Amino acid sequence: MNQQRRSQGPLLRFTKMHGLGNDFMVVDAISQPFRLRPDMIRDLANRNFGIGFDQLLVVEPPGLPDVDFRYRIFNADGTEVEQCGNGARCFARFVRDQRLTNKKVIRVQTAKGVIELRVGRDGMVMVNMGVPELNPPAIPFAADRRKDVYTVDVDGQTVELSAVSMGNPHGVLVVDDVDTAPVGTLGPKLERHPRFPARANIGFLQILDRSHARLRVFERGAGETLACGSGACAAVVAGCLRGLLDHRVEVELRGGKLVIEWQGEGTPVMMEGPATSVFEGQLRLPGDSGSRRRKGSGRPHKQRS
C-alpha cells in the first residue's frame, strides 16, 4: 500500500508533434509543474518502452521583457541543448493550439538568443533562426582560423567539413549522394570527435543545383533523424559560403522539404516548413525519485498540418 502510494506522482499533460518526421514530446510548463531528470527524459524518449521522440520541447514563461515564451530543448539522451529548428515550428503551432497566445508573430527566448516564429494562414511556420556564427566557440578549431572548409582526422582518414553554429554546433560535409553517404558510421564518430568538445550535429549535404539540395543529419544526442531544421540552415549557410548554393534553397530531407533563405554574412537565416500535431496524452510521473514506474494514456486526434 505504502509502496503504491509512493509511485503515484502527478499527471503530466503533453502533445506529440513532428516537423517532417523529426518528432517531439511538447510540454506546457506554464500551466502545470514540470521537472524531469535526464534519466526520465531518456526513458520517455525510448521508442519501445516510452513515448518515443527525438527531442522534448518545454514551453516556459519568458525570462526577458520583450519575449513571449522561453523555449527549452532536451535531446533524446537527456541533454539540454540550445536550438531546434523543427521544434521551433512545432512550438509556434503548440502555443497557438493550446491558446497560450493568439499572436501571429511570437518571440521566443532560447539558450542562445531570441528567435521569431511566424504562423502562416496555410499552417506553414516561418522561423527567423538568427544570424549564424561562422567561427563558433563551440567548435574551437573554427575559431582558430576562419575559413569555409576544415579538415578533421577520423581513424586516419581526412574528412573535410564546414563548421557553422545556429546556436547549436553543426559540421557539414558535401557528398555526392546522400543515399550512399556513411551517415550511420561517420556521423557518430564526428558527433563525438575530440575536435568538437561540445559534440556536434553532422550534416551530409548533396547539391542538386544552386537552389536544390538533399540532406541527411546525424544529430547530436538523438542519432539520425528524418529531418533537422537547424541542420538545414547550417547546410545552406555552408553551401553558400562554399559558392555552391544561391540564397534561397529547397532542402529535401528524408521526412520532407524545407525552404531556407540566407542573404549572406551578418544576416539571419529564415526557415519555412510545416508543423504537425499527432496526439495528446498524459502520463503519471513517478511519485518519488527512486521509482521509474510510469503509466500513460494517449488520445489520438485528427492530423492537422
Ligand X SMILES: N[C@@H](CCC[C@H](N)C(=O)O)C(=O)O
Active-site residue flag, 228: yes
Cα 31 to Cα 34: distance, rounded to the nearest angstrom:
9
Pick 255 or 286: Cβ nearer ligand X? 255
203 touches ligand X by CB under 6 A: no
Q: Which of 230, 237, 270, 285 touches ligand X (CB under 6 A)?
A: 230
- 190-196 LR contacts (CB < 8 Å, sep 24+): 190/152, 190/154, 190/159, 190/161, 190/218, 191/218, 191/219, 191/220, 193/152, 193/154, 195/139, 195/140, 195/141, 195/152, 196/138, 196/139, 196/169, 196/171
55 belongs to an annotated ligand binding site? yes
Q: Catalytic pick from 90, 228, 233, 240?
A: 228
Binding mask 42-61 for ligand X (x = CB under 6 A): ------------xx------
110 touches ligand X by CB under 6 A: no
168 belongs to an annotated ligand binding site? yes
Q: Which of 15, 22, 162, 276 touches ligand X (CB under 6 A)?
A: 22
Pick 89 or 96: Cβ nearer ligand X? 89
CA angle, 217 then 124 then 22, to 5° = 25
Cα 80 to Cα 45: distance, rounded to the nearest angstrom:
14
Range 61-80, binding ligand X (CB under 6 A): 75
Buried/exposed 274-301: b ≥16 CB within 10 Å, e otherwise: bbbbbebbebbbbeeeeeeebeeeeeee
Annotated catalytic residues are 84, 228
Q: Which residues make up each annotated binding site?
A: 22, 55, 75, 85-86, 168, 201, 219-220, 229-230
Which residues does the annotation place in the binding site for substrate?
Answer: 22, 55, 75, 85-86, 168, 201, 219-220, 229-230
Binding-site ranges for ligand X (CB under 6 A): 22, 54-55, 75, 81, 84-87, 168, 201, 219-222, 225, 228-231
